[in-house]
Amino acid sequence: MSIVLKRIYEDEKQIGGYRVLIDGVWPRGISKEKAQLDEWAKELTPTSSLRKWFNHTPERFQEFTARYKKELHHSDEAKAKKKELQDIAQNHRLVLLYGAKDEQYNHAVVLKDWLENQE
């Protein structure tokens, strides 16, 4: 399974593969043409209240991870999308695009781990 995380603002070389935006809102300053998306998976984003609570605070990342995975696990839409993306990642590179500045403490890191888990 090949899953790559890439910050959409630093995606100058347009990494090849199946490109999925995983943010709830469209990234400011990025045109649809430049993004070259195959899909926008809004159903995989954390809820607004969870995202605001976390606010990219490193001390909250462990708790955020647990809460976010719980949200994903309880969402039938998210579980269906997980299966679709896992199937794609078996034969193609799956590129998860996000807008967060912090590359270590963000929902994309959690989502990649969740997608790679075969449960």
How far apart CA 114 and CA 111 sit, in angstroms, is 5
The model carries a pTM of 0.90
Per-residue pLDDT of the chain (119 residues; tens, 9 = 90+): 789 999 998 866 677 899 999 999 999 999 988 888 999 999 999 999 999 999 989 999 999 999 999 999 999 999 999 999 999 999 999 999 999 998 899 999 999 999 998 66
Residue pointed to by tokens 């606010």: 55
Token reading at 46:
């954390």
Q: Using CA atoms, how far apart are residues 35 and 80, in angstroms rounded to an integer? A: 24
